[in-house]
Structures are given as C-alpha cells and as structure tokens.
Structure 1
C-alpha cells in the first residue's frame, strides 16, 4: 500500500479508511486503494455520499459484509461510536510477518484441560522446541506433491512443439540445410504447499509435532509456506528455512506470541486472505489446515474464509486430531458448514498419519463430504 508521507494531507483520511478495513479482514488490494482515491478526486467530492459511493464501488466489500462496511464508514468519517458487529471479537486480529519485530507483551500462563482449552480469549506465552523431524519425509516430499504445467519450457528430443526460433538458428548455422527440428516442452513443477497451524490451547499437545513436520516440509519443498494462528496470524517460513532444526524451531518459537491461547479461527483465516501477498500463497496450492476446527460462537467468518480458500486452492484439507478417534463425526455446526468446501478431512493426531497424507496429495481422492457421508 502507498505510503502516507508521499501523499497530500487531504488524501490521508482516505488511505486511513482503507487501512481500517484491512485491519478488520476486508480484502483490499493496493490497486483498489488507488482507484478509491482517484474516484474521490473525480467526484469532487460534493458530499459524504459521494465518498461512500466511491468506496463501495472501488473497495468492493462482499454483500454479506455491507452492514459491517457501513458501520466502519460511519465510525471513521462521522465519528460514531466504534461499530459492534455480530461475531466480531473484542480484540482485532493481528497479522505478523516473520520479518517484523516482536511485540513485548505480558505472558500469561495457562492450565486447562479437555474441551475447556477452546476459548476466544487471547493468552500470550512462549514455547521451546528441541527435537528433530523426519528426514525421510523431507527427502520424499518434493517428488510427492502434485505437479502443474509451468509456463517455462525446456528443450526435448521428442513429444514437444516446434521451437521455431531455435530451428531457424540451426538452419542458418547449417548454411540452409534442414537439420532435425528443435522441440520444446512445457516443464512441470510441484505445486505450492501451505500449512496453517493452529497454536491455540486446545491444540497444545500436538503443536510441537506440527512444528517439526513444518520444518521438514520447508526444508524438503522449495515452495512451502507456514503460518500459525490462534488469536493472531504469524508467518514463520523464514525461521523454518534455517537448516538446523533446534535453531529453526527456537527462532519460530520466538516469533509467535499467542501459544496456547484462545481461538479465533475464522477471523485469523480471513486476515490471511485480506493480505494480497499472503493470499497469493494459497492460489493453486495444496492448503493443509492443522486444527481441531473448534470455533466458539458464530462460525460465519470461518465459513466465509473456507469458501474463499476453496476457490483459490488446488486442494483444501483439514487435518484434525479429533479425527483419529473412530467415534469422531463432523457433527458440530462449524464442521458441518465447512465440510462441503473441504477436499479432505483427515486424521491429524500423529506425525505418521500426517506425513502419509501429505505424501499422498498427488493421488486423487473422493471429497470429504462424500467420505464422511459414507462413514455416518
């Protein structure tokens, strides 16, 4: 997004409104902000309604969030009380890239058991990881991921298309003789792998294993990305690129501020999608969400986020430790709402089951709703 100091003072409020929307998980790209300011310039504006219409036309909030957009518009430009939107948490979701600085906040110890670990309250703590990951998984991963055809081409001796430029060059080099035609074929490259790891309190028994798996994935795949989410969203890919496992996991542990805290799954996933650079990671990728899917309260944000992920991703999977129990059924309101959007709902209770699943992503499988309908 453009920097405020390079703009006229009169443009600052409009840039600030766009930033406000992004902080509340609206998908606003830099090009939309530029269009918004240009539209305001063209309109005059003669009234606040002109600014509102320009914002609606260029920032394009989804129909299901028009009421929330109106509340933020009135709160920002008219000075109304801070809008309260149904399903919105008291604290806005914070997005943290692993290139940023760590905020110094008080750490709160947490001692809970069972389902009580699922909470919407933010709790900050730290964690230390000292164990390794599976080297065999790391070696096999690059060849096991689904492949796609790249726009780049490579020289081939057969089953390709004519490379006219190279063929003409060969004819000139051979003084007009016609040698064997030169052929090119589009390359195939592995698809991106995106891991979204739930670090809330209800998942703390599995977080260490998930981080070890994530480190092996980043080391084994060239285009793997890893994020953690709980009450905040944190990108930890750069930390996991460190070859030494203990050092990498220690670095990742220092980046994440919301270990073992509450759960705001829907808002944090929407925050991920609202950042264009992050959202691009999911386009055409194998997206694996490592979470129990326990969403407190209204699950509309989670449903919206999963619908958007499904539209972007090549394959969308939810690995839940609860699915390791033979008695498990996706019977909660949240899981029932997102099940039709999932390609997979699999067992995430052990590293073994997760590695087997990730290494099988290239093989087709029935949709999650079909499989769990048979089980039920």
Structure 2
C-alpha cells in the first residue's frame, strides 16, 4: 500500500519517539494520524496536542518530547543523549524556560585542548574577521567547482546525446513531415547537496569562528546545503546563515547555539542526526563534511556506529581535522582510527585555505 506523502511525517514521528525510549504502540500511531485529520490541523499546536493525547506522553517527559517534536517538525535544536556519569550534575535553563540536567566536568584550559563531557549552555560573540580573499575566491568558484550529479531532467543538446524523438517529430510536423535533422538531448546536472557538520566543543574552540565563517560562505554559494553544529547537542543553523551580511548571520548563530566550547559527544550528536528522518534524508547521496579533531570523551562505540551508518547513505564522507595539517599525522583516538575505512578522506582542516582547497577539488574527484 502506498503511503501518501502528507501522512509520512505522522508515521515517522512515533518511530523517532520509540528510538528515544517512549512507548508507542502501532494503534496509538493510527490514533495520532486520525486525530490530526480530525483537527485540520490549523497549526503546529494542534499537532502537538494530538501527539501528547494519542501517544500517551508521560507528563514528566513532556520536556524531552517537546525537544524531539521541535527537531522533527520545525528543524530546531535537539539535545543529544546525556551519558550517565558519576560526577555532580547541575541544572541548565534553556532560553525557552525548559530545564535540562548537565554535568559539572573538567575545566578547559585556555587553548581548549582536552575533550570533555560537560555541557555548558551559553551564547557567544563570534568573530566576523576581515573579508578574507580565501572566502571571496571560494564563493566565486564554488558554484562551478562543487560536486555535481546527473538529474532526472533532460536538456536539448547540439552535440552528443540520445535521440529526442518528441522534438524531432515536432520539427518534422512544422516542415510538412520531413525530418531534416535529428534532435538530441542529455540529462542535466545539478549540484550535489552538501551537509556540513561542525564540531564546536572545547577542543575546537580556537577554530570554531573560522569554521562558521566557512559555513556562511558555503551557504551563500551552494545551491543546496545544510549546516549543523555538534557539541553536547545537535543544532541546525542553516537558516541563520542565510543573510548575506556575515556579521548579522554570525550574530544570529551566536545567539542560537547554546553549547559553544562545551563537551565532546560527537558520536551521540551524529546518532541524533541519523535518528531524525528529515536530517538523515539530507545526507542521502550528499557530500558530507565533518570539521572536527575527533577527540571523543567516553567509549568510541557511538561514534564508530554513527560514522559507519553515515558513510552508507552519503555520496562521500570527508573528515577535515586541524590535526591533519601535519604530514605525519595518524589518528590516535580509538574512535577515529576505527572509522578510517568508512571515510573517503581524512584531510587537513587546520585553516580556511586548506578547507576551501579541499572542497573545491572534490568536483573533479569522481
């Protein structure tokens, strides 16, 4: 049975809840769909009320439910699962009034060289920097140098291609039934979607501003791009990078992202990205770029599993590490070492020039 496209989000959302520990039975899913149909709905509040009522969301978990609801239907911030640690826990108040528990962990040094699991909720003023020649060149070349793929649409061509019988017959009809030339066509190409995942944890604090400036340049020049930040949570910042004015765009990002220079939960953040169907769909057949040093706190299992899953759906998965600027660099963390076979490239991410050159060179890689 073919499922209507309009009903798919209401079928997929209960699956997301089940993956995050909510008990949702199949008949509750059907009741949720029927309730949404009866309500109209007139807005997202109607859908939320139908979900809480029909999916039997426990009152004590409504805050977690709201986070998943906003992430799935609105593309807003979703916190990654917090691992159980023995250290003291403190409460952090979200800007919307919700309260989440965060762990009081290691203090970072001035250079931010240690990976940590502590979640710190704050805003940050990002450095806009000068109008870099590297980024100006990138924005000029990216529209023609970013990887492309063949689309399902065809375009007329005067050179090599397949026979376009429809255009040939139309031309013959205009000439009294005589086909003087055979028209040809070939499939158009379009730019591949680019998914950019930026590690903003404490160990990357020296390069966070430059990474976000690159993200802004990429959003301005690519046809289809989605940008996320990874720390103790997953935040989609694509919409906030849309303003052409870099200062305005980075100011919006600084207010939106709450976990700058905090903990390092790359594996959990990537798993959260893949568990939201809408986000995982962005990566299907896309060029996925991860800007991270790969310093993961805790067990490597979550990161290894998530990278393997991401590599299976992406067209290409490249990991750009600032540590890879050293020609003799070899990953020392067990997680990054274990995923090397799933990566298409572990490349230099130590500066804007290295990142831009790598991305611009991918259009000729396949």
Work out whether residues 94 and 233 of structure 1, in 8 Å CA contact, stay in contact via their aligned partners in 2. Answer: no
Change in Cα spacing, 1:170 to 1:363, as seen in structure 2 (3 Å) is closer
Change in Cα spacing, 1:237 to 1:15, as seen in structure 2 (3 Å) is closer
Whole-Å separation in 2 of the counterparts to 1:212 and 1:152 = 34
Whole-Å separation in 1 of the counterparts to 2:222 and 2:342 = 26
Answering whether residue 346 of structure 2 is matched by residue 345 of structure 1, we say yes
- The equivalences for 1:151-230 within 5 A come to 151-230=152-231
Answering whether residue 138 of structure 2 is matched by residue 141 of structure 1, we say no
Work out whether residues 317 and 342 of structure 1, in 8 Å CA contact, stay in contact via their aligned partners in 2. Answer: yes
CA apart distance, 1:327: 5.0
Work out whether residues 149 and 189 of structure 2, in 8 Å CA contact, stay in contact via their aligned partners in 1. Answer: yes
Change in Cα spacing, 1:127 to 1:202, as seen in structure 2 (3 Å) is same
Partner of 2:362, secondary structure, is coil
2:96 corresponds to: 103
Change in Cα spacing, 1:307 to 1:201, as seen in structure 2 (3 Å) is same
> 1:21 is matched with which residue: 1, 18, 28?
18
1:112 corresponds to: 109
Partner of 1:301, secondary structure, is helix
1:297 corresponds to: 298
| 1:311-338 Cα deviation digits (max 9, x unpaired) | 1111111111122235532122111111
Work out whether residues 169 and 179 of structure 2, in 8 Å CA contact, stay in contact via their aligned partners in 1. Answer: no
2:51 corresponds to: none
Note the residue ranges of structure 2 that are not aligned, 5 or more in a row: 32-54, 62-66, 78-94
Whole-Å separation in 2 of the counterparts to 1:94 and 1:16 = 8
1:128 corresponds to: 125
| 1:59-111 Cα deviation digits (max 9, x unpaired) | xxxxxxxxxxxxxxxxx99x9xx9xxxxxxxxx99985886486357999965
Whole-Å separation in 1 of the counterparts to 2:149 and 2:272 = 28
Note the residue ranges of structure 1 that are not aligned, 5 or more in a row: 7-11, 27-32, 42-75, 83-91, 366-376
2:321 corresponds to: 320
2:264 corresponds to: 263
Whole-Å separation in 1 of the counterparts to 2:327 and 2:109 = 25
- The equivalences for 1:232-247 within 5 A come to 232-247=233-248
CA apart distance, 1:37: 3.9
Work out whether residues 203 and 292 of structure 1, in 8 Å CA contact, stay in contact via their aligned partners in 2. Answer: yes
Whole-Å separation in 1 of the counterparts to 2:267 and 2:290 = 12
Partner of 1:148, secondary structure, is strand
| 1:179-211 Cα deviation digits (max 9, x unpaired) | 312211101222221110001111111000000
CA apart distance, 1:113: 4.1
> Moved runs in structure 1, 4+ residues, more than 6 A?
14-17, 38-41, 92-95, 105-110
Change in Cα spacing, 1:171 to 1:23, as seen in structure 2 (3 Å) is same
CA apart distance, 1:243: 0.7
Whole-Å separation in 1 of the counterparts to 2:70 and 2:359 = 26
CA apart distance, 1:157: 1.2
Whole-Å separation in 2 of the counterparts to 1:206 and 1:340 = 26
| 1:252-271 Cα deviation digits (max 9, x unpaired) | 11211111110111111011
CA apart distance, 1:116: 5.7
Aligned length, in residue pairs = 301
Change in Cα spacing, 1:238 to 1:166, as seen in structure 2 (3 Å) is same
Change in Cα spacing, 1:250 to 1:292, as seen in structure 2 (3 Å) is same
| 1:288-310 Cα deviation digits (max 9, x unpaired) | 10011011111111111111111
Whole-Å separation in 1 of the counterparts to 2:96 and 2:109 = 25
| 1:220-254 Cα deviation digits (max 9, x unpaired) | 11112111010111111111111111111111112
CA apart distance, 1:17: 6.3
